[in-house]
């Protein structure tokens, strides 16, 4: 593996980070590490990583998450598609 490093000074608290990697044919690896005052270089512990809250998928507000939530979005791309109304569903 190749070593790359950079410096980013952070204040205490939560921060958004994004790590991307592309590997073509396999055999590659990626490890993200952190260090700081009194903290030796080490992989970022899982306990300090958090996923953002998932967006609400009930787009039409009917209390049910189903394909009807995406009908308007899909119809904006394909305006010839006719979606059944809620009464037509079992």
User: pLDDT tens, 63-86?
Assistant: 887 888 777 777 776 655 565 666
pLDDT-derived band at 89 (thresholds 50, 70, 90) equals: low
Given a cut of 60, is residue 90 above it in pLDDT? no
Q: What is the largest CA-CA distance in the chain?
A: 64
29, 22 Cβ separation under 8 angstroms: no
Distance, in Å, from the CA atom of 1 to the CA atom of 31, rounded to the nearest integer, reads 10
Range with the lowest mean pLDDT among 11-15, 25-29, 84-88? 84-88
pLDDT tens digits for range 30-59:
888 988 888 899 999 888 888 777 667 788
> What pLDDT, on the 0 to 100 scale, is given for residue 41?
92
Residue 57, CA distances (Å) to 27, 63, 73, 74 in order:
37, 10, 13, 15
Distance, in Å, from the CA atom of 60 to the CA atom of 11, rounded to the nearest integer, reads 39
Distance, in Å, from the CA atom of 41 to the CA atom of 33, rounded to the nearest integer, reads 6
51, 63 Cβ separation under 8 angstroms: no
């Amino acid at each position: 593996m190749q070593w790359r490093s950079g410096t980013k000074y952070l204040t205490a608290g939560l921060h958004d980070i994004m790590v991307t990697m592309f590997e073509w044919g396999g055999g590659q690896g990626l490890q993200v590490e952190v260090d700081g005052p009194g903290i030796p270089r080490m992989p970022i512990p899982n306990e300090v990583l958090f996923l953002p809250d998932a967006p609400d998928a009930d787009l039409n507000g009917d209390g049910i998450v189903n394909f009807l939530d995406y009908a308007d979005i899909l119809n904006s791309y394909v305006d010839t598609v006719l979606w059944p109304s809620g009464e037509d569903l079992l």
